[in-house]
Chain A
Amino acid sequence: DAGITQSPRHKVTETGTPVTLRCHQTENHRYMYWYRQDPGHGLRLIHYSYGVKDTDKGEVSDGYSVSRSKTEDFLLTLESATSSQTSVYFCAISEGQPNEKLFFGSGTQLSVL
């Protein structure tokens, strides 16, 4: 998957607990993105990053925060997980122009009970 590693691959957690998902890339690409995928919806952008310490909100950012302290790592944190955040989360990377030719990781299946 284009040198992208997401961890964990699966996680079950309880409502109200904090959760951090990690995306690690070995491609040295500038742009990184977090998406969620739910039945009945296309991929929806949560947050994105245009470089180290340069992040911004996407379409569905409420309840999520991100950090990018190194080019290769982009962390997604659910401060207090809710059942509506049960989803499959994908990290993506791209180079060149933002929002062009994104390459995706294998995803994290998160269940919030």
Chain B
Amino acid sequence: GESVGLHLPTLSVQEGDNSIINCAYSNSASDYFIWYKQESGKGPQFIIDIRSNMDKRQGQRVTVLLNKTVKHLSLQIAATQPGDSAVYFCAENRRSGYSTLTFGKGTMLLVSP
């Protein structure tokens, strides 16, 4: 899940495992969500997005699941590789009069060979 302080929650997995990174969002009016990957010293990299009229969306080795009932978003990475090691964070687009994209603080994924 998302972090509260300076230390990010960390998920450690073995190469080849499937990884699941979770994100809780706060606003039931949010209707669009994005997952980003950020490697050290680099800018955030777009992974996948999903609208609230969908429960699931798949990309290459990644799947995003959206549970609007409990306001929960997850990113599943299949056959995790060392190159997947990075910080992953979600963002929600809250449309309450105007559009505002709010980013979470992220989860660190560490993949061991």
- Which A residues lie at the B interface, using CB under 8 A? 1, 4, 39-45, 59, 90, 97-107
Contact = CB atoms under 8 A, between A and B. Distances in A.
B92 to A, nearest CB: 10
B106 interface: yes
B89 A102 contact: no
B99 to A, nearest CB: 4
Interface of B: 3, 5-6, 32, 34, 36, 42-46, 49, 89, 91, 93, 99-106
Contacts, number: 52
> Considering residues A1, A43, A104, A105, which has the most beta carbons from chain B within 10 angstroms of its beta carbon?
A43
Nearest to A1: B43
Contact of A42 (B46, B99, B104): B104
Interface of B is mostly: strand
A54 to B, nearest CB: 14
29 contacts: A1-B43, A4-B43, A39-B6, A40-B6, A40-B105, A41-B105, A42-B89, A42-B91, A42-B105, A43-B103, A59-B100, A90-B43, A97-B99, A99-B32, A99-B93, A99-B99, A99-B100, A99-B101, A100-B32, A100-B93, A101-B46, A102-B46, A103-B46, A104-B44, A104-B45, A104-B46, A105-B43, A106-B42, A107-B43
A56 to B, nearest CB: 9
